Amino acid sequence: MKKKWFWPLLAMAAALFLAWNSPKLTPVNAAEQTYTIGTDVTFPPFEYANKSNKYVGIDIDIMNAIAKAEGFKVNIKPLGFNAAVQSLEANQIDGVIAGMSITPERKAKFAMSNPYYKSGVVGAVKTGSKYHTLNSLRGQRVAVKTGTSAADYVHSIKDKYHLKVVTFDDSNNMYQDVITGNSAACFEDEPVMQYGIATGLSLKIVTKPAKSGYYGIAIAKSHANDLLPKVNAGLKKIKANGTYAKIVRKYLGNGSQKSQAKTAAKTNDSDHSFMGLLKSNWGTLMGGLGETLQLTVLGIVFATVIGIIFGLIGVIPNKFAQGVATTFIYIFRGLPLMVLALFIYTGIPSLIGAKIPALIAGVVTLTLNEGAYTAAFVKGGIQAVDGGQMEAARSLGLPWTKSMRKVILPQGIKIMIPSFINQFIITLKDTSILSVLGLLELTQTGKIIIARNMEGFKIWTMVALMYLIIITLLTWLSNWVQKKVK
């Protein structure tokens, strides 16, 4: 096969692979309308993954029961609280059920359902801590979770108690910050905190429930006239026929810590040794690794194609072309990857009024960011070749394009190869940031497992080892390629 066909065929294969793995559009029966409902990934007992990596919890069961009662279907999409709310704002999903407190701000943005659960905010400290009341926490550092009613409550009292507030994106990191002694306390919804303690968290509740409020299901304003009435009607039905009470009892028992511990033991990993956790979560971790490798391969292929194109444009003897390449590199190399990912996934859909699947958004993010870096070292590699080489080729009568292809590029490629391999490694690591889009890559998978068994150190050790093994293999490949080139 001629080399000139290699990159076009590789790009075509990647495009087909991406299309095959993207969500398929299927005809929808009007009588069985399917709605996509976002949820959190680590909020037990309302939503969490059990030992079979299946999402369960009070919210999941309630949403499924409502759908069954009203004759529609739901596609539960675990995204994480922040990603779910942002996706709903961008009309990427139709609703959110994630222990979301009904507030005036949320009622202004979304169509909120009738209340379905009452809760309050409590503070917890490390077992054996010297802090026993809210007043004793005066002047201390406390941890909260982004976007929660607990965070709102703490910010409302922080001046009164001179609290230093630190924010986390998930519950486990918030809990661990207290257990390790970095923060004096953390604040969480009462049933969630009780459930965490019942599963073995070394915390104890030291404050009375405050800022009591109700959870509601957030619906996109565009579905205020169809989905919202169905949700409210279904909620009324399952409360009347006893299904709602049965669901709550299933996960919380009679509400006591002893009863919750018994319920939690059914879904928690029985063997908490390193090998026991690895064995019981092997399939889940491999699924996350597969998603990571898929994102990496697609990102590398498209970023390489885009990078080479803009790198070559950057050395064309034309001011406008060089300006285009420089602008591309400046913008997409300068934007933080997370900001770019959220802009593509939630910002652009708000402008164009169309949904962008998370996988597509993730690959586009990697393509633009990694492509800008690739373009920079392609451009730099070509410019590193002695200028006299081009002059010599042109003096022999070769046109600019042939001089570039026959004389400059073969020398430039030798300079670029180490940077190419290094960029592959960077792309692999950058996929972890895409967990903000709800993609179940390796890092997000680790968070989900930890939410169930609270074994953060052991699970993150497993995740780190998996990354190191892949990176080591890529480093060996880099060394082998460089030897072959030399």
Nearest to 36 by CA among 90, 69, 67, 77: 77
The structural domains of the chain, ordered by start, are 26-117+214-266 (3.40.190.10), 119-212 (3.40.190.10), 279-485 (1.10.3720.10)
Q: What's the confidence (pLDDT) of residue 29? A: 43
Answer whether residue 434 shows pLDDT above 60.
yes
Residue pair 245/255 in contact (Cβ under 8 Å)? The answer is: no
Residue pair 446/460 in contact (Cβ under 8 Å)? The answer is: yes
Q: pLDDT tens, 42-78?
A: 788 898 887 777 888 999 999 999 999 999 999 998 8
What number is the average pLDDT over the span 113-119? 93
**Distance of alpha carbon 486 from alpha carbon 466, whole angstroms:** 31
Residues 6+ away with beta carbon under 8 Å from 86: 342, 345, 346
Other Cβ atoms less than 10 A from the Cβ of 267: the count is: 20
Q: Where are the alpha helices (DSSP H) in 241-395?
A: 243-252, 257-267, 274-280, 282-313, 319-334, 337-342, 348-352, 358-383, 387-395
Beta bridge partners of 214: 118
Q: Which of the four pLDDT bands, split at 50, 70 and 90, describes residue 389?
A: low
CA 324, chain centre distance (Å):
32
Both tokens of 170, joined, read: 């998930």
Q: pLDDT tens, 253-291?
A: 755 555 555 555 555 666 678 888 888 888 888 988 999
Q: What's the confidence (pLDDT) of residue 6? A: 46
Q: Could you tell me the end-to-end alpha-carbon distance of the chain, in angstroms, rounded to an integer?
A: 24
Which DSSP state fits 43? Answer: B
User: What is the share, in percent, of the chain residues with pLDDT greater than 90?
Assistant: 35
In the block, residue with structure tokens 């950058």:
430
In the block, residue with structure tokens 């889009």:
437
Q: Give the 3-state secondary structure of 46-63.
A: CEEECCCCCEECHHHHHH
Q: Which of the four pLDDT bands, split at 50, 70 and 90, describes residue 232?
A: very high
Q: What's the confidence (pLDDT) of residue 160? A: 93
Q: What's the confidence (pLDDT) of residue 155? A: 93
User: What is the share, in percent, of the chain residues with pLDDT greater than 70?
Assistant: 85
**Distance of alpha carbon 70 from alpha carbon 113, whole angstroms:** 15
Lowest pLDDT segment from 4-18, 113-127, 324-338? 4-18
Query: How much of the chain is helix, strand and coil, in % rounded to 5?
Result: 65, 15, 25
Lowest pLDDT segment from 36-45, 69-78, 196-205, 402-411? 402-411
Nearest to 349 by CA among 220, 259, 456: 220
Residues 6+ away with beta carbon under 8 Å from 480: none
